[in-house]
């Protein structure tokens, strides 16, 4: 309905507004690393760490979450061919999340929350920072509630029918995130918020970090799965082809529910106080969550190939040439995938327990996540917006050519920047450090850090082009006939599908069990060691 389209648009625009500020902070950081420190010239910014905190929270927490909530609500109601169960709840959710985001923005912009996006204690932020983020998380859970209610209403109307692909992807994403969010909810509600308000005197950094990473790794799949929804269910149609295998696609999505949850210790390989045995188990499970992404690489590439061949492409690689490279939405997503393959490879390096000792807390890690969340996710969301915003507004995209240049520049900029970061990281350059001012700057870091700055400048140019096109599209009077949602058909038709690929319960139960096994013993030990209310209750275990 027009109301729901408007709501989705508002969510998405709030997300992109945050990305805009985050990108500007990114440029300042990149230049600082290369020796050009502009921070003293910007009175609003009190320190490098304030800018870095704004960059992280705005880009990976607020941009992503607002885009995702807007897109998933829209995708579910479009796929179910009915309005959300409660459109009123969806509007309440928007205002609630906006209020939460504004609280967090205020704390960050006034330099009262320079604690970086991981919110690690004992660095303490103003209470509004934690409360605002907690409200945003509650908003995501309200979306989950609304999606489940919509699913139940649809099921009553269409008993026995298989869940359509778009809502299926939206439900998997939100069920996974609903389970994953428990850690960060406990961390914020029982520890960080009371501590920041002065109600409790101290918190245990190891315990809060453990709760954080219980949610903090799966959150990357909360960001990634909506991009996967586009790659699997929409991109093949944009390429002129079909989804290569519906069962494989569903299996890959469902595998993320159990496999993305019990892997958080791979962020804590170097934390004392977590036993090596549990770290090793999480390392092995991390290799498990690699599998659905490898399945994705195969299925999506095969789906896109059906498009290239349907357009007349022949031979082993001839189909690549005939793909619609003039379409910024297609090209942006294809380029995002190419860099994601490198992001996956660097993820494997991080996940390898021993190799992690070499790269942990170095610039190699930002090198990894600018390829994953910074490209696979952010570039895909921008590329999707080239059809989604015209669809939601009824206004024609202002310039396809500008869009094309923008996505190519993002790809080139990120290639330079992530290469520079990974290279400097392997040479020992630390992350989260004002490198330009450090007394231990190594001559060998010079060239890689120049690459970071060059990449940052290209990325900023790309961002300027993106916002130019976005604003011009929103302001344009050029109306377009309804831009369709490019929903792909499965190649093999809608044949028989095993029931377990259309049910959530077995995956949810196995996910819950894996979390209990993977985290239970460590959490019980950490909680009983503390002077918490829970300690006497947990001691018998």
Catalytic positions are 217, 221, 368-370, 431-432
Sign of CA dihedral 59, 62, 68, 70: negative
Rounded CA Rg of the chain: 23
Q: Rounded to the nearest whole angstrom, what is the least distance from the CB of residue 335 to ligand HAS in the complex? A: 8
Q: Is residue 360 close enough to count as binding ligand HAS by CB under 6 A?
A: yes
| ∠ Cα 490 495 497 (to 5°) | 95
Query: Among residues 260 and 406, whose Cβ is nearest to ligand HAS?
Result: 260
Binding part of the chain for ligand HAS, among 87-95, 160-168, 293-301, 311-319 by CB under 6 A, reads 293-301
Cα distances (Å, whole numbers) of residue 286 to 217, 337, 353, 406: 10, 20, 10, 34
As a whole number of angstroms, the longest Cα–Cα distance in the chain is: 70
Query: Among residues 290 and 468, whose Cβ is nearest to ligand HAS?
Result: 290
Q: Rounded to the nearest whole angstrom, what is the least distance from the CB of residue 536 to ligand HAS in the complex? A: 34
Q: How far apart are CA 328 and CA 247, in angstroms?
A: 29
Q: Is residue 72 close enough to count as binding ligand HAS by CB under 6 A?
A: no
Q: How far apart are CA 345 and CA 108, in angstroms?
A: 33
Binding part of the chain for ligand HAS, among 26-34, 135-143, 173-181, 284-292 by CB under 6 A, reads 284-292
Binding part of the chain for ligand HAS, among 126-134, 162-170, 287-295, 443-451 by CB under 6 A, reads 287-295
Please list every residue from 73 through 112 that binds ligand HAS, using CB under 6 A: none
Q: How far apart are CA 138 and CA 141, in angstroms?
A: 5
Beta bridge partners of 362: 430
Look up residue 179 and give its two tokens.
Answer: 């389970």
Q: How far apart are CA 349 and CA 400, in angstroms?
A: 38
Cis peptide before 122 (omega within 30 of 0): yes
Please list every residue from 318 through 357 that binds ligand HAS, using CB under 6 A: 320, 334, 337-338, 340-341, 344, 347-348, 350-351, 356
Query: Among residues 126 and 217, whose Cβ is nearest to ligand HAS?
Result: 217
Query: Among residues 70 and 80, whose Cβ is nearest to ligand HAS?
Result: 70
Q: Rounded to the nearest whole angstrom, what is the least distance from the CB of residue 508 to ligand HAS in the complex? A: 20
Q: Rounded to the nearest whole angstrom, what is the least distance from the CB of residue 279 to ligand HAS in the complex? A: 11
Look up residue 3 and give its two tokens.
Answer: 């109301």
Binding part of the chain for ligand HAS, among 10-18, 90-98, 216-224, 272-280 by CB under 6 A, reads 216-224
Binding part of the chain for ligand HAS, among 87-95, 107-115, 193-201, 288-296 by CB under 6 A, reads 288-296
Share of the chain residues as helix, strand and coil, in percent rounded to the nearest 5: 75, 0, 25
> Among 29, 296, 473, 522, which residue sits at the site for ligand HAS (rule: CB under 6 A)?
296
Look up residue 442 and give its two tokens.
Answer: 């190594």
Please list every residue from 39 through 58 that binds ligand HAS, using CB under 6 A: none
Task: Say if residue 476 is exposed, middle or buried (CB neighbours under 10 Å; 0-12, 13-18, 19+).
Answer: middle
Look up residue 171 and give its two tokens.
Answer: 């439900």
Q: How far apart are CA 151 and CA 341, in angstroms?
A: 33
> Among 290, 302, 313, 457, which residue sits at the site for ligand HAS (rule: CB under 6 A)?
290
Please list every residue from 103 through 162 that binds ligand HAS, using CB under 6 A: 118
Residue nearest to ligand HAS (CB): 344
| Residue partners of 245: CB distance under 8 A and separation at least 6 | 299, 302, 490, 491, 492
Q: Rounded to the nearest whole angstrom, what is the least distance from the CB of residue 483 to ligand HAS in the complex? A: 22
On the CB side of 60, CA atoms within 13 Å amount to: 24
Q: Which ranges in 34-126 belong to alpha helices (H)?
A: 48-56, 64-80, 87-109
Number of residues that bind ligand HAS (CB under 6 A): 34
Please list every residue from 371 through 390 that binds ligand HAS, using CB under 6 A: 372-373, 377
Q: Is residue 451 close enough to count as binding ligand HAS by CB under 6 A?
A: no
Look up residue 439 and give its two tokens.
Answer: 């007394």
Q: Is residue 286 close enough to count as binding ligand HAS by CB under 6 A?
A: yes
Q: Is residue 304 close enough to count as binding ligand HAS by CB under 6 A?
A: yes
Please list every residue from 223 through 262 that binds ligand HAS, using CB under 6 A: 223-224
Tell me which residues touch ligand HAS (CB under 6 A): 118, 220, 223-224, 266-267, 286, 289-290, 293-294, 296-297, 301, 304, 320, 334, 337-338, 340-341, 344, 347-348, 350-351, 356, 360, 365, 368-369, 372-373, 377
């Amino acid at each position: 309905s027009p109301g729901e389209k408007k709501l989705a648009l508002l969510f998405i625009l709030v997300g992109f507004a945050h990305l805009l500020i985050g990108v500007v902070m990114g440029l300042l950081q990149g230049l600082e690393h290369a020796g050009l420190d502009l921070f003293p010239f910007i009175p609003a910014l009190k320190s490098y760490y304030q800018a870095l905190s704004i960059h992280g929270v705005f880009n990976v927490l607020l941009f992503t979450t607002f885009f995702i909530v807007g897109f998933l609500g829209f995708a579910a109601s479009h796929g179910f061919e009915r309005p959300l169960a409660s459109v009123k709840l969806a509007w309440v959710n928007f205002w609630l999340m906006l209020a939460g985001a504004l609280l967090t923005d205020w704390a960050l912009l006034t330099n009262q929350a320079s604690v970086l996006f991981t919110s690690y204690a004992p660095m303490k932020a103003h209470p509004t920072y934690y409360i605002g983020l907690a409200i945003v998380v509650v908003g995501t859970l309200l979306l989950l509630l609304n999606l489940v209610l919509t699913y139940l209403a649809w099921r009553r109307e269409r008993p026995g029918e298989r869940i359509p692909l778009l809502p299926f992807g939206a439900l998997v994403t939100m069920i996974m995130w609903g389970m994953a969010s428990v850690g960060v909810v406990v961390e914020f509600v029982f520890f960080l918020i009371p501590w920041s308000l002065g109600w409790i005197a101290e918190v245990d950094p190891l315990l809060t970090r453990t709760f954080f990473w219980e949610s903090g790794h799966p959150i990357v799949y909360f960001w990634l799965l909506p991009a996967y929804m586009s790659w699997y269910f929409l991109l093949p149609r944009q390429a002129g082809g079909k989804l290569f295998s519906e069962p494989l696609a569903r299996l890959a999505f469902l595998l993320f529910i159990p496999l993305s949850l019990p892997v958080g210790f791979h962020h804590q390989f170097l934390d004392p106080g977590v036993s090596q045995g549990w770290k090793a188990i999480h390392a092995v499970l991390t290799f498990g969550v690699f599998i659905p992404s490898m399945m994705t690489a195969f299925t999506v590439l095969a789906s896109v190939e059906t498009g290239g061949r349907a357009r007349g492409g022949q031979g082993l690689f001839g189909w690549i040439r005939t793909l619609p490279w003039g379409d910024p939405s297609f090209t942006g997503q294809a380029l995002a995938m190419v860099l994601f393959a490198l992001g996956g490879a660097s993820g494997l390096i991080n996940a390898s327990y021993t190799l992690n000792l070499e790269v942990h807390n170095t610039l190699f890690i930002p090198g990894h996540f600018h390829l994953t969340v910074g490209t696979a996710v952010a570039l895909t969301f921008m590329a999707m917006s080239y059809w989604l915003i015209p669809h939601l507004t009824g206004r024609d995209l202002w310039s396809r050519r500008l869009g094309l240049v923008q996505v190519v520049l993002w790809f080139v900029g990120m290639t330079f920047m992530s290469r520079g970061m990974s290279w400097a990281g392997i040479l020992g350059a630390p992350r989260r450090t004002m490198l330009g001012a450090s007394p231990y700057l190594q001559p060998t870091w010079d060239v890689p850090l120049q690459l970071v700055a060059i990449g940052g400048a290209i990325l900023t140019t790309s961002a300027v082009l993106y916002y130019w096109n976005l604003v011009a599209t929103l302001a344009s009077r050029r109306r377009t006939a309804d831009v369709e949602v490019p929903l792909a058909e499965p190649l093999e038709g809608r044949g028989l599908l095993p029931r377990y690929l259309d049910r959530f319960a077995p995956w949810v139960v196995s996910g819950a069990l894996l979390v209990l096994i993977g985290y239970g013993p460590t959490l019980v030990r950490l909680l009983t060691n503390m002077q918490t209310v829970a300690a006497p209750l947990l001691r018998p275990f």
